[in-house]
Structure 1
Amino acid sequence: MYITITAQKLGGNYSSGSGDFVDYLEKENQDLDQDGGEYFFNQYDDKITAEEVVREIDANTAKLEKTEPRFYSITLSPSKYELNRLQNSSEDLKKYTREVMKDYVASFNREINDRPVSIDDIKYYAKIEHQRTFKGTDKQVRENQPFASKILQLKSDIQKVERGEISGNIARMEREIQKLEKTAPHQQNGERIVQGMPKEGNQSHVHIIVSRKDASNRFSLSPGSKYKASKVELNGKTVKRGFDRDKFFGKAEKTFDKNFGYQRNFVETYNARKEFIRNPKSYFSALMKLPTSEKAMAMRILKQTGMPIMPSIPTSQAQLALKVFNRLRKGLDIAVKSSSIGI
């Protein structure tokens, strides 16, 4: 389960309101009829319109400074293995989202009216999407890029030949383009994978927009707090503050496993991905100690996520750690983006 928490973007292409972001979440519905699209939902209601979401989020911003985000975006992205455990992607993900938001409020070190934050204290709306497209940062697009560049150059040369600017054999260049299209390392349904191409298979995931202010529009609840748990004096009163992301991510995984009977592999856990970033040597050492079947599954998962692994596994733990550590120094940025764990 890959989970990200992102603050609203201020400036640039984003306004101080939520309209642009909600419009973005409606993109998948644009090509569907009214009955075929997905509505927004929250903890209790299933068919919430985009207009209501914008109205409710934008009206819930009392006393926020212009430089403070009005809302946060949470994305829940199950892996293909997790999606295979679902009986009905939409209904199961809706159920899971409602349970995850209970984990979300439980991760705040805050009190409202002298009690812990509850699910009824937050204002959120969620939207399920079933499609994804390849991005420029995806491994498949990056490794196909040299072929894409050569194809683009050949097409440009063909146009120049047709305009009489240079001499060349157009038929030969077209054959070279066809060869490059077929030999690019990453293909989908017989076509070279390019940025913007829809990904095949089940791509269901959830986008959540949650207001910075609580439902009463009085208290600020920021999951972007740099504090996990602390206290501060405010107007002569001791106030708790903080949000524990580690707790939230861990509980979200356990909630999925419990609800859908999922047996989580070591490399799929938040704690393992965090260890990979902080101490690759320890991470791979723990990986090599897994039972044979679990280790084999771990290697398949790592290969699919684009995280750097060795083509063969040395028998020596020390040899493994040394080789992996050296390779990870070059590939760490890619792995961090693949893990999407928001730390």
Structure 2
Amino acid sequence: MYITITAQKLGGGYSQSSADFAEYLEKENQGLEQEDVEHFFNQYGDEIEAKEVVKEIDGNTAKLKKKEPKFYSITVSPSKYELRKLQNNSEDLKKYTRAIMNDYATSFNREINGKPITVDDIKYFAKIEHQRTFKGTDKQVKENQPYASKILQLKTDIRKIENHQLDGNVKKMKSQIIKLEAEAPHQQNGKRIVQGMKKSGNQSHIHIIVSRKDASNSVSLSPGSKHKASQVEMHGKIVKRGFDRDSFFTKAESTFDKTFGYKRNYAESYKSKKDFIKNPKLYFTTLLGLPGSEKAIAFKMLSKSGVPIMSIPTNQVQLALKTIRTLKRGVDVAIKSGSIGI
């Protein structure tokens, strides 16, 4: 499970409207039949139109300054292993979204009118998407780039030859292009992976747009707060503040496991990510200490994520810091790819 929470930052500042973001989330519906369209939804409603989302989010910004975000974006990307547990991608992910928004609400160390925050205090809208495209920052695109540059140059030269601006053998150049296309290290369905290409397989994920203000438009709720859970005196009163991201991520993972009966391996757990970041030696020691069947699954998951499994030591003595640093780079890539951890 890979979850991100980001402020609605666009360019150098904050847009005064959620319209661009809502329009961006509508892109996948273009050209689809009505029965295939994915609509926005919230805790209690389905088939909500984008214009209604914009109206509700933009109208819920009382007393927010121009330099403050008006909403936050939460992206929830289940791994391919987790997606296999779903019976119906769209309906199951809607069910899961509504469950983790309860977790989101209870991760605030805040009260409204003396009561703990509940999901009814959160104004949000969500949308399921089933496609992803390769970005320029993806490893596959970056490592294919030298081949892409050579292919582009050859195509440019061919056009110049055809326009009598350059001398050369077009047939030979076209053969070189075919060879370069085949030699590119990252392929999908027999084609070189390029930026903008749709990723194959089940790519279902969730986008959630959450208003910075509560549903009553009176209290500011920031999941970007630097305060995890604390109390401060304001105007002579003790006020609770903060949002516990660690708690939210842990609850979100647990909620998925309970909802869909998912047996989570250590290698894909949120705990493993924390161990990996804070104490790499503990991470690999725990990994190697797993029961045989669980260890085999863990290594398989890691290998699928690009970690050099052949370099993983086979006993505790071999857990040298140099080896750990080498493996750490591979696991770090796997975590960022969303294959393991949150």
Same-fold call, TM cutoff 0.5: yes
CA contact (8 A) 2:303 2:309 kept: no
Change (3 A) 1:300 1:141: farther
2:28 counterpart of 1:23: no
> Match for 1:200: what amino acid?
S
Alpha-carbon deviation of 1:204? 0.8
SS of residue in 1 equivalent to 2:213? coil
CA contact (8 A) 1:256 1:262 kept: yes
CA contact (8 A) 2:13 2:67 kept: no
Partner of 1:102: 102
- In structure 1, what is the Cα distance between the partners aligned to 2:26 and 2:106? 29
> Match for 1:324: what amino acid?
T
1:236-275 superposed matches below 5 A: 236-275=236-275
Tell me the number of residue pairs that the alignment of Structure 1 and Structure 2 aligns.
Answer: 342
Deviates more, 1:290-299 or 1:193-202: 290-299
Identical aligned residues as a percent: 68
> Match for 1:29: what amino acid?
N
**Deviation sequence 1:52-95 (CA, Å, 0-9, x none):** 00000000000011111100001111111111100000110000
Alpha-carbon deviation of 1:147? 1.7
2:35 counterpart of 1:35: yes
2:323 counterpart of 1:324: yes
Change (3 A) 1:92 1:19: same
1:74-93 superposed matches below 5 A: 74-93=74-93
> Match for 1:50: what amino acid?
A
1:215-294 superposed matches below 5 A: 215-294=215-294
CA contact (8 A) 2:302 2:331 kept: no
**Deviation sequence 1:78-116 (CA, Å, 0-9, x none):** 111111100000110000000000000010000111110
Deviates more, 1:3-12 or 1:25-34: 3-12
CA contact (8 A) 1:109 1:241 kept: yes
> Match for 1:220: what amino acid?
S
- In structure 2, what is the Cα distance between the partners aligned to 1:330 and 1:119? 38
Give structure 1 regions of 4+ aligned residues with deviation exceeding 6 angstroms.
340-343
1:327-342 superposed matches below 5 A: 327-328=326-327, 334-335=333-334, 337-339=336-338
Alpha-carbon deviation of 1:333? 6.3
- In structure 2, what is the Cα distance between the partners aligned to 1:61 and 1:17? 10
**Deviation sequence 1:143-165 (CA, Å, 0-9, x none):** 22222222122222323333444
CA RMSD of aligned residues (A): 2.1
- In structure 2, what is the Cα distance between the partners aligned to 1:134 and 1:224? 28
> Match for 1:107: what amino acid?
S
Alpha-carbon deviation of 1:239? 0.6
- In structure 2, what is the Cα distance between the partners aligned to 1:173 and 1:181? 12
2:81 counterpart of 1:72: no
CA contact (8 A) 2:124 2:210 kept: yes
CA contact (8 A) 2:288 2:314 kept: no
- In structure 1, what is the Cα distance between the partners aligned to 2:266 and 2:155? 47
Partner of 2:295: 295
SS of residue in 2 equivalent to 1:35? helix
Alpha-carbon deviation of 1:134? 1.1
- In structure 1, what is the Cα distance between the partners aligned to 2:124 and 2:341? 20
Structure 2 residues without counterparts, runs of 5 or longer: none
Deviates more, 1:149-158 or 1:254-263: 149-158
SS of residue in 2 equivalent to 1:303? helix
Partner of 2:147: 147
- In structure 2, what is the Cα distance between the partners aligned to 1:327 and 1:120? 47
SS of residue in 1 equivalent to 2:111? coil
1:108-257 superposed matches below 5 A: 108-257=108-257
* TM-score, normalised via structure 2 length: 0.93
